[in-house]
Amino acid sequence: MVLEICTVGGFSECGRNCTAIRVDDEVIILDLGLEMESYISHTQQDRENVVKLDAEELIKVNAVPNLHLISDWMDKVKAIIPSHAHLDHIGAIPFLASRFKGVPIISTPYTIEVISTILKEERLQISNELIIKKSGQKYKVSKNIEVEFVHVTHSIPHTAMLVINTPYGRVCYANDYKLDLTPVLGKKPDLKRIKELGNEGVDLLICESLYANSHRKTPSEAVAKQMLKDILNNSCADGHGLVVTTFASQIARIKSIIELGQKLDRKIVFFGRSLRKYLLAAHRIGVLRIPKEIPLLSRRHELDRMMRKINREGQEKYLIVCTGHQGEQRAVLSRIARGELALKLNSKTMCVFSCSVIPVELNIKNRERLESTLRSSGVRIFRDVHASGHASREDHREMIQMLKPKHIIPSHAGFGLAHHLRDLAVEMGYVDNKTVHMMEDGKRLIISK
């Protein structure tokens, strides 16, 4: 009669999310992600790419969850359940899933489609069965474990709060969400079900806490769309080349960009491997229909051919969407800026960064370098045209109020920030210092026995 949690990864740092939940002699794994900065510095890959690598090596450089922390649980694992398709939640699956023979991977349609796409594009193989469950649906892992997928909003389609029902208690796993009541793509968060869960009883909430110290409610994706509209529709954009860069997996943002480009009667082109990957996955399952006339180009010769055409016809007729928002050296935007690709930049080019700078040293340096190279060609820059996908303090307040959990584990922030969620939860009175658990990677907590 035991319900026990092991915080495997993503609790001492931000990234490589992984939580294991043991119910007697059965275990499920929630998320199996990459720690992007370690992964990028180890592989020299772009932010949104995964390539074939040795799993032990990745564990050694802290790029994937350290499964040795649950070596005594490995043969008990019955399911791997990712909450959404960001690489810090699914990116370790190609390397680690085959350690769990015969264990299915269960998630929402877009999440499963992205996993399949990565495996196919990178020629990686796993033998685990991939099972699709829509939000609102449940999946019975075993007699004692049932998982329910509750829809929440985030910066990628089909994000779920995972609800684990067991005879010994209920765990809610809200590891990445925001409460966006006017989403640009997909449904609003399922507040009705979240409130119901709270009334039925929640024993433990594992909750992201990245912006728990940001005293506000995170703006809606509709705000980011309006910010983009103000820039692209403005008369100062007339006769100018428009280059927009954003997260490849930010499908709602890309929907807004396509709509705005079409209204301006510009020809839209996408440049970059990761954009192509996430957009094809969205197109295949009908999350976002990409019109046939919009090319998704990733090969060098395709890029150069199209860019020469744009130079000939005039940049002002096009809306270019490309990878490289963090200033990644090998991504399309940096290569354009350095003159390595055919597109000619000049004072009539506007470059819109529809993203934030992820605040780690490498990104900050790369972005500074990229922006100064762009400026040296006379390019006008628009920064931070963006709304985050992560909950802020007031979203957390709402979530905690709805769920009324008996215990809380703050996640996805690292130790420097997670305590802000603890302080909020204690201040609200649902938990106290003994029932908010500040967990490091590898720590275990028994919720009931």
Binding positions for Zn ion, rule: CB under 5 A: 86, 176
The residue among 86 and 386 lying less far from Zn ion, judged by its C-beta, is 86
Is there a contact between 449 and 1 (Cβ–Cβ < 8 Å)? Answer: yes
Residue closer to Zn ion, measured from CB, 210 or 321: 210
Strands 318-322 and 241-246: parallel
Q: Tell me the three state secondary structure of residue 442.
A: coil
Helices (DSSP H) in 122-242: which residue ranges?
191-200, 221-232
Beta bridge partners of 163: 148, 172
Nearer to Zn ion, 22 or 86 (CB): 86
Which residue type is seen at 342? A
Q: In whole angstroms, how close is the CB of 256 to Zn ion at the nearest point?
A: 19
If you ran DSSP here, which 8-state letter would residue 154 be given?
A: -
Angle between helices 273-284 and 109-121 (to 10 degrees): 130
* Residue 273 or 412 having the CB closest to Zn ion: 412
CA separation, residue 259 to residues 253, 275, 281, 353 (Å): 10, 17, 19, 17
Query: Closer to Zn ion at the Cβ: 22 or 47?
Result: 47
CB of 149 to Zn ion, least distance (A): 15
Provide the 3-class DSSP secondary structure of residue 235.
Answer: helix
Secondary structure (3-state) at 262? helix
- Minimum distance between the CB of residue 86 and Zn ion, rounded to whole angstroms? 4
With respect to Zn ion, which residue has the nearer C-beta, 86 or 253? 86
Residue 241 or 389 having the CB closest to Zn ion? 389
**Closest distance to Zn ion from the beta carbon of 121 (Å):** 20
Instruction: Report d(CA 78, CA 100) in Å as an integer.
Output: 8
Taking the least distance from each CB to Zn ion, the nearer of 166 and 392 is: 392
Min dist. Cβ of residue 179 to Zn ion (A): 15
Longest distance between any two alpha carbons in the chain, whole Å: 71
- Which residue matches tokens 């762009």? 374
Other residues' Cβ atoms within 10 Å of the Cβ of residue 250: 24
Rounded CA gap, 17 and 279, in Å? 24
Spatial distance between the Cα atoms of 107 and 79, rounded to a whole number of angstroms: 10
Pick the closer one to Zn ion by CB: 93 or 307. 93
- Rounded distance between C-alpha atoms, residue 356 and residue 224, angstroms: 12
Of residues 86 and 393, the one with the C-beta less far from Zn ion: 86
32 close to 85: Cβ distance less than 8 angstroms: no
Token pair 């915080």 in the structure block, residue: 7
Pick the closer one to Zn ion by CB: 174 or 425.
174
State the minimum distance, in angstroms, from the CB of residue 87 to Zn ion: 9
- 176 and 356 Cβ atoms separated by less than 8 Å: no
Distance CA 41, CA 28 (A): 30
CB of 431 to Zn ion, least distance (A): 24
Smallest distance from the beta carbon of 6 to Zn ion, in angstroms? 21
Q: How far is the CB of 278 from Zn ion (least distance, A)?
A: 13
Coil, helix or strand at residue 228: helix
Shortest spacing between CB 413 and Zn ion, in angstroms: 13
Strands (E) in 133-199, as ranges, are: 138-140, 146-151, 160-166, 169-174
Are the C-beta atoms of 205 and 284 separated by less than 8 Å? no
Min dist CB 38 to Zn ion, Å, is 17
